[in-house]
Structures are given as structure tokens and as C-alpha cells.
Structure 1
């Protein structure tokens, strides 16, 4: 799966639809069909302290994998059978006042310190230590505690997109996808079914800036999906809600504490959130470069990342985005 998922707000998707009602049957469906990441977090001694100033906020790390052709499809995520290596990450911040959702895409090739392993690309943490080391790496990068973890396989988004009747996306750059023969994405607004949406969010080779544009496309996709899920016509349609949960659940892995009951609790708090309250941005970078051993890497903007970490720790992400014109 790509950086959407991120991309991806699969957790928020489930939270939103569960909050729409039909709790018991949906909870049973989600809990029985989704996977549990049995080892999601590092040792407590290796984690940042809980920040009292942000104790009501929630941070969720979304890990994306792509079994149908990801960059490391033979490397399984700990606790999630056949999930493949994560090709993307998104940190979702839900503020204590529950008045919005803030999602930061983390570039998978960002050059960071992996605890006890030295400097590597961010997604190398999966290969070295699975989900726990990935969580520890992101927590170390931002000096911020992660409350929950979810892994989502990109294939699930094809079924999800079809379950909600497709999505409307304003394509910023025209391109021919490598993953959908004979199709061409024109620039401008267009309706996409599941197969087309999957090709849209997977593509990176068609763009001059590669993963950067892919991340932006995935953010557009996630916002379109969430906007439709949060629409009253979806939340008041029992059949559509059940179809969404059934379509996505088999492709989702969650930590032990992120079950349907917790998602419902989050969803209730977010019941007033709509599409305009969803805010997406990319963890600040300082361009591209090469590592000492010749790898093509994304350079972190250390100062900006430190400022974001402080904003997360004080539950002031909205102010951070405003100050940085994000």
C-alpha cells in the first residue's frame, strides 16, 4: 500500500461508519474479520512519556502495504499475516476537542535514525523489527507517543471504493498508470471506481517527483473516501454501512486495544466532523539527496519536524498548520 494511507485513514473510516449506528452487528463483523497485531509497541522504557497537555488527544499510526506489487512484498509485518512490507505511513492526530482530524503522510524514503540500527530509510524499520520498531522509530523522530496502530492492505481500498459507489477526485496531473492497462487519467475532476482508484493511488513512476506526487494523490483519495463516508446519505444507509465494514475489515490489522468498541468511542467524538474538517499534509522534508552508501533518500527538515513534535505533544497541531501555511 502506498503513502495514503494511509493512507490512510482506514481506522477513521471504520470509526465513522461504526458511529453511524448498527453498532452491535458492525462491531462483530469488524472484530471477527480484522487481524490483531499482537506485538504493536516497543518496550515501555523505550517510549516517550505520556504528555498531560495532550492526554485527551489520540495519535494513530497507519501502516500501508501492497501485496499486489509493493516494494517489499515478501517481508511480512509482525502479527499481520501476508500484509507485506509497509510502503507507506500516515500519522493521524485527533485533537482532544474532536473538532477535526489531522493526518501527516511520512515519506517512506526519509533518512532517519532507526533505534539501535543507525540511519536508514524510514520504511527499513519494518525489515529490522516489524511494527514495534516502526512505532519506536516514529516516536523517536517526533518525540511523541503513538496511541494506536493499524495496518491496511491497499487491495482493501478497491472493494471499499466500490462499496461507497466510487469517488470523485480532481486529478492534478494527467498520467498513464502502470497498474491499469489501457487507462489514462485526464487532468481534472473525474469519477473513479475501485480498480481505477487503486491504480491512481499506487502510481509514482509517472511523476517527476515520484513519491511526493503519489503522497499528494493518496491524500486526495483518502479525503474523497472519508468525505463520502461522513456524508449523511452513507451514515443513514444500513446496507451501505455494512458493505463498507465488510469490504474493509479483512484487510485491516489493529493493535489489541483498537477494537470496534474503541473505534465506536472515537467515532462518537467525531460525529460532527465533515470533509472540510479533515486536514492533510506531508511531514516536512528538505528535498532529496544520497546517503553515504549511495541510496536515493528524502532528507528530513529537522527543525520543522521538531516543531510538529512539539505541536503534537501540546495538542496544538491546528496552530502548527496555520503558522506553517499547511
Structure 2
């Protein structure tokens, strides 16, 4: 998301040139450049729970405490936030669609697993293979990481039926620094939460401004939410909408010191694919306003506690959404009033992605109707929706 709003920055073009050179990833995208029929650019934005810094070094115990993250290596490299963004040719607007991390997908040679494990599984397999060839040290880390990212990109491409042009990844430390740099983001909770045992999210109900470790806790919480990870996705969309609105506002763009701090945060935290000219992309993005960015979620179904998706339906939905078309029979829907819907409130414009023609079983065991024909508008970056 930080990359999505780069183009609005009116200061520091020299810093953008520096950024373009310093936050390079591997050859994640084999054939960079817009491939959509209309010349649009498709970008995969990834939030990774990695406990390392930009140089691949393990974070200190003190920093992990600030991030409210454990040092348990088993949790590393899970892609807990996955958002596909399309910027039409000319930069008139942006559409963003989320992929719930727990969605079960066919990971080719690895079998059926949760989507968020694709990168980690492919990276581990590549590391084992490369070790057998005598590759070690920094070269091993770089090549195995690139292999994991490539596999992950191809998995999203196959599921969504798109050709991804660019890849951007931010880890826990990067998100922490970014939210600090912008001075926090306004969010709104429908009810107080206390998830001190897991994410560290302890917040009152109502509007509030969060940054740093509190912002991380807000977007990472899934325990105690009516629909678990699906409601976490709604939170992430609401937060990113607020972040985009904050960066697009005069409060950030009119303050050179804040812009410089934002550039520092991005430079130390974001991994971009090797072929991405971020300076050229920034110029393309300058015409997008807050209300021209919309968020939604792929259609999924809860089945006995598992999140499942039909690839053909996902592909059709993403194609319609990113192309600006609508299909009333396949929009993410949920029946009930705003006060009854988990994740929805009066004035909340986020879509859950939970739809279909029969009742679905949520992670909490509750039944919720998903009848067709009940429409919700996508979240836009000029909203501050109240969420669970």
C-alpha cells in the first residue's frame, strides 16, 4: 500500500531515484511491464510476518517486543496480507482486491495448503535444493527467497487469472516504521477488543489514531473476531484506506520533513521487483485521489472452519472487478442489516468477499446467510469505516 501512494508525493524526487536503486528484490517478475489488454498495471502488494530487517538479519529481542512479535522461527515468511492492485492506463483510479491468508489452494507440487504458506514452502524447498548444490550464505538466502517469491506470484496469477507486472513486499518492521512516519492512521472500532494474549490488540470502541506496534496489533488481530481472518482482512482494508487518505492529504504532502521520513521508512522496509521503475510509476500515480482507490475481497466460503474458494469464480470476480465491470449475481454479499452483519456498520463500505447461494459456517460456528442480491459498496480511501 505504501507503494500505491508513492506517486502522490510532491517532494523529494531525488529521494525516489535513490529508493528506486536501494529497495530491489530478485527477479521476481520474469517479464516486467503492463500485460493487461487495456495497458493497466497489476501490482501484488504483500505484508510478510518476517522477523528480519532489510539486510536479512534477525531483529533484536527488544525490537520484537516493540512489534509484539515472538521470535519463533516457525511463524516466519507467512504472507499474511495479499492485495492485488490494478492501476488503469493513465492512472484514473485504482482497484484493490484482498486474498484471505487462510484460503485453501492447490500449491502444485506441495498439495493443498493455505495461501499464505506458498512463499515459505517454495523458499524452503529451494533452499534445500540449493544447499545440495553447495550454495551457502547470502547467495543461498537471496536465491531461495527469490524462488519462493516467484512461486507465490505464479500461485496468485493462476488463482486470479491475471499476469502480475510488479511485486512489492513489506515486513513487520517496515509496517511499524511506515505508520510512525505518517504520524498514525485513524481507525474506528465497533466495540472494545482485548487480544493481549495473541496480537496485543487492546483498544476501546470508537475512532482512534494508531501507529507503530498498535497499528500492527490492529491489522494482525484475528482471535476474538466474529469471522476470524475474514474480519482481519476487513480491518486491513480499512487501515490501508485510512493510510492512503492520510498520505494523500495535505498534512503529509505539505510537510517536507514528513515526506522525508516516509521515504526513509520505505527505503528501509520495502522489497520491489528488480524491473520496476518506481520513479516512472510515481509520475503515473500522481493523478489518483483518495476516493479513486477501492478495496474488496475475493469470494470465499467458510466450510467447517476452513476458508475455501472456487478458482473459476475467483478469476471471474477479479476480472470483472479490475476491469470496472459488475456482475450482480457474483458480487460479495451478505444479508441482514448493517447492525447484524459481522464486519459491517452503518456507513461501512467494505466488502467481505463472503457470498454464495446457501448459508456458510463461520469460524465461530455461527451461521450467516449469504443470499445473492444484497450489495455492499467497496471500501474507498476517503472512508474511515467502523469495523470489528
The TM-score range, normalised by the shorter chain, is 0.7 to 0.9
- Whole-Å separation in 2 of the counterparts to 1:177 and 1:248: 29
- Whole-Å separation in 1 of the counterparts to 2:98 and 2:318: 14
> When the two structures are superposed, what TM-score results if normalisation uses the length of structure 2?
0.67
Question: Matched residue of 1:11: which SS?
Answer: coil
- Whole-Å separation in 1 of the counterparts to 2:255 and 2:327: 34
Deviation of residue 131 (structure 1)?
Answer: 0.7
- Whole-Å separation in 2 of the counterparts to 1:164 and 1:33: 21
- In structure 2, runs of 5+ residues without a counterpart are 52-63, 123-147, 332-374, 379-388
Is this contact kept in 2: 1:94–1:101, CA < 8 A? yes
Deviation of residue 31 (structure 1)?
Answer: 3.8
Size of the alignment, in residue pairs?
288
Question: Matched residue of 2:102: which SS?
Answer: coil
Larger radius of gyration: 2
- Whole-Å separation in 1 of the counterparts to 2:96 and 2:70: 22
2:308 corresponds in structure 1 to: 299
Is this contact kept in 1: 2:29–2:275, CA < 8 A? no
Q: Aligned ranges for residues 55-70 of structure 1 at < 5 Å? A: 56-66=39-49, 67=51, 68=64, 69=69
1:186 corresponds in structure 2 to: 204
- Whole-Å separation in 2 of the counterparts to 1:229 and 1:202: 22
- In structure 1, runs of 5+ residues without a counterpart are 1-8, 77-83, 290-295
| Residue 125 (str. 1) matches residue 118 (str. 2) | yes
Deviation of residue 125 (structure 1)?
Answer: 1.5
Deviation of residue 176 (structure 1)?
Answer: 1.3
Question: Matched residue of 2:264: which SS?
Answer: helix
Deviation of residue 301 (structure 1)?
Answer: 4.0
Deviation of residue 60 (structure 1)?
Answer: 0.8
2:320 corresponds in structure 1 to: 311
Deviation of residue 75 (structure 1)?
Answer: 7.3
Please list the CA deviations of residues 237-271 of structure 1 after superposition, one character each: whole Å capped at 9, or x if unmatched: 2211110110232111111012xxx2232222222
- Whole-Å separation in 2 of the counterparts to 1:71 and 1:115: 30
- Whole-Å separation in 1 of the counterparts to 2:292 and 2:300: 24
Closer, same or farther: CA 297–37 of 1 in aligned 2, 3 Å: farther
Closer, same or farther: CA 110–70 of 1 in aligned 2, 3 Å: farther
Please list the CA deviations of residues 95-137 of structure 1 after superposition, one character each: whole Å capped at 9, or x if unmatched: 2242211111111111112233332221222133211111111
Is this contact kept in 1: 2:78–2:117, CA < 8 A? no
2:170 corresponds in structure 1 to: 152
Runs of 4+ aligned residues of structure 1 deviating over 4 Å after TM superposition are 70-76
Of 66, 69, 79 in structure 2, the residue corresponding to residue 86 of structure 1 is 79
Is this contact kept in 2: 1:177–1:200, CA < 8 A? no
- Whole-Å separation in 1 of the counterparts to 2:72 and 2:111: 20
